[in-house]
Amino acid sequence: MRACFITTKTNEVLGHVRAWEFVFGPAVHVEFNHEGIRNDHLLIEAAQAAKPDVIFYIGATNGSGNPRPETHQELRKIAPCINLCSDAADRPWHHVLNGYARLHCFDLQVAIDGAADAPVDFTTLTPVDLRPFQIGEKKDIRFGFSGSVGRWNGRSEIVKALEWFGGLTVRHRESGDTYPDHVRFLLRCRVLLNVSLTGSGQRHHIKGRVLEAAWANCVLLESEGSPIGNWFPSDCYLTYRNPMEAAAIAANLDEASIENLSRRLREEVEERFHPKIIYTEMLKRVMGSTRGAI
């Protein structure tokens, strides 16, 4: 199964490509600068040269370098095209997704953030490359968070407050960081904080960190308001209302609870959200389940 990924140069998209490669083998990855000069002809030429069975697109809500609708329509002539959106719960994305649908830009639009009301064809969770998780690390961090905190917003307020007084060990994203660096930190954590706010901070969704917590054998401590209850049984996670409650939960969890919660989340993710399962469900919808490569 040959895949071509056409994506922005933002940090998280490489993980989606590598999750595919973990299951199906090497993919052609073509990047564009959504804030730069539009180079649609190069995207079409690269896709034609790749001769893919499927094309995955990961774009941005806006930008001068975003491909035109006509380019997406041309790409569909090369292979079935799937739009992956990791922030589909966020309102700013909805008019973009509706526009793509109206102009027949894709064969399938997929929300990979568990968005219940996004204008897409299929909703699932984030595929994760499991290779970096296949190492052993000592669980020497009681309560951790790894990722970009960003500007002063709802997410940063929670993370910074817990870093200051709640015993939270924070690994800040820095230049030169790699995904294996991020994973090595997660593997050391016993309890992993997640803030389920979307990019705008106005809504909640299921972040890739939820799946990463499972693969890293962590207890997931999730924001109240998250739609996680729509996706996982209640014995797979804990929720918090504010930083003070999150700090108390992390500090007071006993060993049996840590073991049970981390085990149950891992069991559910292994059974239902392995990257092969996630990508295969997409392929079935655009190609049918009878193709040998699926």
The pLDDT assigned to 151 comes to: 64
d(C-alpha 81, C-alpha 72), whole Å: 8
d(C-alpha 26, C-alpha 4), whole Å: 9
The pLDDT assigned to 214 comes to: 98
d(C-alpha 203, C-alpha 156), whole Å: 15
pLDDT tens digits in sequence order for the chain, 294 residues long: 999 999 999 878 999 999 999 999 999 999 999 999 999 999 999 999 999 999 999 999 999 999 999 999 999 999 999 999 999 999 999 999 999 999 999 999 999 999 999 999 999 999 999 999 999 899 999 999 998 776 656 778 999 999 999 999 999 877 678 899 999 999 999 999 999 998 888 899 999 999 999 999 999 999 999 999 999 999 999 999 999 999 999 999 999 999 999 999 999 999 999 999 999 999 999 986 433 344
The pLDDT assigned to 136 comes to: 86
Give residue for tokens 């500007």: 151
Q: Helix and strand tally (H, E) in the chain?
A: 10, 11
The pLDDT assigned to 83 comes to: 98
d(C-alpha 107, C-alpha 81), whole Å: 5
For the domain covering 131-272, report its CATH number.
3.40.50.2000
Helix (H) or strand (E) holding 110: strand 108-111
The pLDDT assigned to 176 comes to: 73
The pLDDT assigned to 155 comes to: 79
CATH 3.40.50.2300 domain span(s) along the chain: 3-127+274-287
The pLDDT assigned to 288 comes to: 67
CATH 3.40.50.2000 domain span(s) along the chain: 131-272
Q: Which CATH number applies to 3-127+274-287: 3.40.50.2300, 3.30.830.10, 3.40.190.10, 1.20.120.790?
A: 3.40.50.2300
